Amino acid sequence: MRILTCTSPGHFEYSDGELPALTKDHSLIKIKRIGICGTDLHAFEGTQPFFNYPRIFGHELAGEIADINGDIDFNIGETVTIIPYFNCGRCIACRNGRTNCCATLNVAGVHIDGGMAEYYSVPNYSLVHSNGLSVDSLALIEPLSIGAHGIRRADIKPGEFVLVVGAGPIGLGVMEFARIAGGQVIAIDISENRLNFCKEKLNIPYTINPLQTNAIAYVREITNGDMPTVVIDATGNLNAINNSFSFMAHSGRYILVGLQKGDISVSHPEFHKREATLMSSRNATREDFDRVIKSITNGNIKPENYITHRAPFSKVKEEFSSWLNPANGVIKAMVEMD
């Protein structure tokens, strides 16, 4: 089978390999679609934490079951996606149903090799039924689930102002589920293309480019002086993360969905006087996947809005670097298996 490996930052190589062995309680998936995530882009740049090379990317996956080992409620030939966070099932997080932050978590395409290949072997517990969705939609369930999980962590109440910093694919998913939860969403990004996407495709009422507007003053105006009770970072940019503490209302919550390598810096007195809450949001759970599928099925989310670029598997090596260029207006690139 054909495989694409990131051998080092900035470098891909195709190779031929054997089909993965079908081990106990695993299924073999014939890959049909691979969504390109910010994690993949950052790993290609060499800026992604928890990353070693060489690595096979690919965790936003859709395909057909080619073979099964074990007694499960899935069939050979069935179209599926997967929950790509492979957990131990035994640690305190797993015992508490928080498999998304397992103490020994292996994320496909990050800690271990992923599905940027013709076939991929996955644990049976990771399989997710298609519920009639297309392979394009299925490959978008994982990134949307990260947004759904972040909003579940935020526990948004209807009418709350929710400031989302970063309008990449993850931030857009955060905005969608904040809107569904009844939040009044404010989007901040330095890309006019992405802010226009927020307005035109997601019906986000407030958008701010901090390079063109005094963001603090405008957010204060929007919120009638209160400032947002929920601030969510989806940039993974250290400066953005540190600066966004300034937007938080007294009694507010700050949720870090984005991830970066450095140390967060915050004024303790400013944080303390707000009695603020700071939390991280990592990956997603099956509950979040189910919620995304339901939201797509009932029309609350239109996954086709997200896909702006496509490439066959054979062209990924030559096209991948172009997806990092903001001038190309990439929201979501989708790889189609040849």
Query: What confidence tens digit (pLDDT) does each residue in 120-133 have?
Result: 999 999 999 999 99
Strands 2-8 and 307-312: unpaired
Give strand pairing partners of 256.
233, 280
Per-residue pLDDT, 4: 98
Residue range 197-246, pLDDT digits in tens: 999 999 999 999 999 999 999 999 999 999 999 999 999 899 999 999 99
Please tell me whether residues 90 and 9 are part of one structural domain: yes
Residue 135, domain member (yes or no): no
Q: Helices 169-180 & 192-201, crossing angle to 10 degrees?
A: 30
Structural domain count, the chain: 2
Please tell me whether residues 52 and 107 are part of one structural domain: yes
- Report whether 106 contacts 283 (CB < 8 A): no
Kindly state the tokens that stand for 10: 């900035």
Please tell me whether residues 160 and 119 are part of one structural domain: no
Please tell me whether residues 124 and 17 are part of one structural domain: yes
Please tell me whether residues 9 and 88 are part of one structural domain: yes
Residue 296, domain member (yes or no): no
Please tell me whether residues 218 and 246 are part of one structural domain: yes
Per-residue pLDDT, 191: 94
Residue 276, domain member (yes or no): yes
For residue 180, what is the domain's CATH number? Answer: 3.40.50.720
Kindly state the tokens that stand for 143: 């990134």
Please tell me whether residues 195 and 273 are part of one structural domain: yes
Residue 287, domain member (yes or no): no
Per-residue pLDDT, 159: 97
Pick the last residue of a domain from 280, 295, 319.
280
Q: H/E element holding 174?
A: helix 169-180
227 CB-near residues (< 8 Å, 6+ apart) = 161, 219, 220, 247, 248, 249, 250, 252
Per-residue pLDDT, 316: 97
Query: Strand (E) positions, 224-298?
Result: 230-233, 253-256, 277-280
The model carries a pTM of: 0.94
DSSP per-residue letters across 280-293: E--S--HHHHHHHH
Q: How many CB atoms lie within 10 A of CB 200?
A: 10
Please tell me whether residues 113 and 230 are part of one structural domain: no
- Report CA-CA distances (Å) from 202 to 139, 180, 196, 258: 19, 11, 9, 20
Per-residue pLDDT, 271: 95
Domain range for 276 is 147-280
pLDDT less than 50: residues of the chain? none
- Report whether 85 contacts 104 (CB < 8 A): no
Please tell me whether residues 153 and 272 are part of one structural domain: yes
Return d(Cα 212, Cα 190) in angstroms, integer: 9
Please tell me whether residues 200 and 113 are part of one structural domain: no
Per-residue pLDDT, 304: 87
For residue 12, what is the domain's CATH number? Answer: 3.90.180.10
Per-residue pLDDT, 49: 74
Please tell me whether residues 269 and 162 are part of one structural domain: yes
DSSP per-residue letters across 61-93: EEEEEEEE-S--S--TT-EEEE--EE--S-SHH
Please tell me whether residues 13 and 123 are part of one structural domain: yes
Residue 75, domain member (yes or no): yes
- Report CA-CA distances (Å) from 89 to 33, 97, 145, 247, 311: 28, 9, 20, 38, 36
